[in-house]
Amino acid sequence: MLSFLVWLLLLFLCWPIALLALVLYPLVWLLLLPFRLLGVGVEAVFELLRAIVMLPARVLGHSPGR
């Protein structure tokens, strides 16, 4: 919501830059998509490593919520 209000303010102050931002936003999103997918993969690897390290404690009966 805040970004939309900032865009409206930019549209009021300088409409060519606001329209350029509106056009370039999907292109920037597409360029950043591989980095988001890489981040998801790295996070999954870290969660797997955490699960492997914590497995002995879980087998012995320790629950992370207690």
Inter-residue contact 18 to 10 (CB < 8 Å): yes
Residue 44's pLDDT is what? Answer: 97
> Which amino acid does the sequence have at 20?
L
The mean pLDDT of the chain is 90
Would you kindly state where each structural domain of the chain is located, as residue ranges?
Answer: 2-59
% of the chain surpassing 70 pLDDT: 94
Question: Contact at 8 Å (CB) between 39 and 32?
Answer: no
What is the DSSP track for 12-60?
HH-HHHHHHHHHHHHHHHHHHHHHHHHHHHHHHHHHHHHHHHHHHHHHT
pLDDT in tens, 9-41: 988 999 899 999 899 999 999 999 999 999 999
- pTM equals 0.56
